Amino acid sequence: MTAPNWDDLRIFLAVVRAGSVRGAGKSLSTTHATVSRHLQSLHDALGSPLIERRKEGQCLTDLGQRILPLAEDIEAKVAKIDRASFSANTGLAGTVTLSMLESLYLSVLDKPVNDFMERYPMISLKIIATDEVSNLAWRDADVVVRLTSSPPETAYGKKVADSPLALYASPAYLVDRPKRDRWIAFDWLPARQPLGSARTVANANTMGAAARLIEMGRGIGMLPCYFGDTHPGLVRLTEFAPIEDLQIWILTHEDLRKNPRVRALMDHLYDAFDELRPLIEGESPRQVS
C-alpha cells in the first residue's frame, strides 16, 4: 500500500459528485478512460476499492465512505494553499480570471473589459463567459460578475445593480400582432409562464436562443433589461411593468481581495457599473406602447 496521489483523490471526488465515471469525465473535460485509470490507481494505492458498480450505479464501498470526508478536507486545504499562493503575488503583471454571463458580456461589458485590457497591458485576462456558477474557493475564477440574490458568505465584493426583467417583441411581430400573443419561454422561472392570455409556442433552454426567436418575430417574451434594451432587433412592451429579479454582484474570494490584479479588475468594474447602472436597470428603453 502506498500514499494516495492527490490527482487520484480529485478524480474520486469528481466521480462521487457526478454519480458516474462518464459524468466525472465530462465535468473535468477529460476522457472516461482517464477517470477510470485514476480510480484504479487510487484503489491500487489503498489496497481496496472506494467505488464499485452495482445495479443502482456507482456506489461507495465502506472504505469509500470513510475516505470521502478526508478527501474533501484535503481538497479544501489544497484550495487554501492555492489561494494563499495567488494572494502573495503582489505584481500587476500576470493572469487574472474573470467569470460572467455571456449575455452580460456581449450586451454591456465588452467595452469595459476592452478598456481594462488597454489600461493594464501586462495583465493577462482570462475570460470565462458562462451560465455556470464559478467556484471562487477553487479559483475557477478570481473575480465573478454574478446574478444572485444571496452571494456566498466567503465572497468579498458588493452589489452593483439590480437586474429587472421586461417584456420584448420585434418590430416585425408588432406590425401584424395577433389578438392572442405567442409566448417564447426560456428556462428561467419568471420567463417560463406566459403573461396575460398569450400561448406558449416555444421553450428555449437559454436566454440567447429565446431572444433570437423573439427577434425573428415568432412571439413575445421576458428578458433582462440589460439584454433586451441593448438588442437592436427588440423593443420593450409597456403593457406589463418590469418585474424585479436578481441583483448583479462583483465578487472575489475573501483570501484574494488584496491581490493587486484582482483589486485593479474589481475597481475598474465598479466604475464601469456606476455608468452602466441606469441602462441595466431599464431606465431608458426603446419601447412601444
Residue-range definition of the domain harbouring residue 138: 94-159+248-276
Looking at the fold, whether 266 and 232 belong to one and the same domain comes out as no
Walking along the chain (289 residues) 10 residues at a time, the average pLDDT comes out as: 83 89 86 90 90 79 93 90 84 92 93 97 92 79 92 90 96 94 93 91 94 96 95 91 94 92 96 95 68
Contacts of 238 (CB under 8 A, 6+ apart): 287, 288, 289
Q: Which of 34, 61, 88 is the last residue of a domain?
A: 88
| CA–CA separation, 112 and 108 (whole Å) | 8
In a domain, 284, yes or no: no
Looking at the fold, whether 122 and 264 belong to one and the same domain comes out as yes
- Burial annotation 64-100 (CB, 10 A radius, 16+ → b, else e): beebbeebeebbeeebeeebeebbeeeeeeeebbbbb
Count other C-beta atoms under 10 Å from residue 236's C-beta.
Answer: 19
Looking at the fold, whether 151 and 211 belong to one and the same domain comes out as no
For the domain that residue 199 is a member of, what is the CATH number? 3.40.190.10
Q: Which of 62, 88, 114 is the last residue of a domain?
A: 88
Looking at the fold, whether 255 and 134 belong to one and the same domain comes out as yes
Looking at the fold, whether 26 and 67 belong to one and the same domain comes out as yes
Looking at the fold, whether 42 and 77 belong to one and the same domain comes out as yes
The structural domain count of the chain equals: 3
In a domain, 174, yes or no: yes
Looking at the fold, whether 271 and 216 belong to one and the same domain comes out as no
| CA–CA separation, 205 and 212 (whole Å) | 12
Looking at the fold, whether 173 and 240 belong to one and the same domain comes out as yes
For the domain that residue 53 is a member of, what is the CATH number? 1.10.10.10
Contacts of 159 (CB under 8 A, 6+ apart): 247, 248, 249
In a domain, 281, yes or no: no
Looking at the fold, whether 174 and 217 belong to one and the same domain comes out as yes
Residue 242 CA: distances (Å) to CA of 168, 169, 198, 246: 11, 14, 17, 13
In a domain, 285, yes or no: no
Tell me the β-bridge partners of 51. Answer: 60
Looking at the fold, whether 253 and 241 belong to one and the same domain comes out as no
